[in-house]
Structure 1
Amino acid sequence: MSEHRFTLDDTGTDMAPAAVRPSRYPHRLRYEKPVAAARTGPEGQTPHALSDLTVVTCACGLATPPLPNDDARLAYERHRNEIRDELAGVPAP
């Protein structure tokens, strides 16, 4: 057996609790459905339902306006690639 005894006494540590420490990962990319009633298209077109629109948000501050699902997917993928490049240390173009 080892002669060293480990204790759970951490009174001498300088680390803050996890809830207080800033996040090491500043992104939290997600899709969200807008909460507004419904939007109407140009004159002569039927109104678009909310299910046709998506907002892309991220903890870094990205927040798109309500976009059609395909456009929201493109915005999501573009930001996901930027996050990947940022983590890999690739400079932004």
Structure 2
Amino acid sequence: MNEHRFTLDYGDATVTPDERRPPVSRHRLRFENVKGEGCTAPESGTRRAAPDLAVVTCACGLGTDPLASDDARLLYEEHRNLIRDEITAGGRS
């Protein structure tokens, strides 16, 4: 049996082991909708629909409790812009 079962053709590509790779981002931004349970209005005893809630998390340490979806979306966009600015500033050396 042959020790080498696969033949890899790299074509004209040249890759050196010490080739510098771009740094891995410390961010992993996520926006997740939360299924809220409906609540019963104490004055009428009727069931109301659950508000739209969402949670924003990021690997850098950002984490929110369930927020109104619009507020969570705003926070998500602000953090996304911060990440973009951080990456842009990091590229200028």
Q: TM-score, normalised by structure 2?
A: 0.55
**Moved runs in structure 1, 4+ residues, more than 2 A?**
37-40
Q: Which is higher, the Rg of structure 1 or of structure 2?
A: 2
State the number of aligned residues. Answer: 70
Cα-Cα RMSD:
3.5
- Runs of 5+ in structure 2 lacking a partner? 1-16
Q: Deviations over 1:5-45 (max 9, x none)?
A: xxxxxxxx79xxxxxxxx7111111112347x6486xx86x
Q: Which has the higher strand share?
A: 2
Cα distance, 1:61–1:70 mapped onto 2, change above 3 Å = same
Q: What are the equivalent positions in structure 2 for 1:73-88 lying under 5 Å apart? A: 73-88=73-88
Q: What are the equivalent positions in structure 2 for 1:50-65 lying under 5 Å apart? A: 52-65=52-65
Q: TM-score, normalised by structure 1?
A: 0.55
Provide the secondary structure at the position in 2 that maps to 1:54: strand
State the identity as a percent.
52
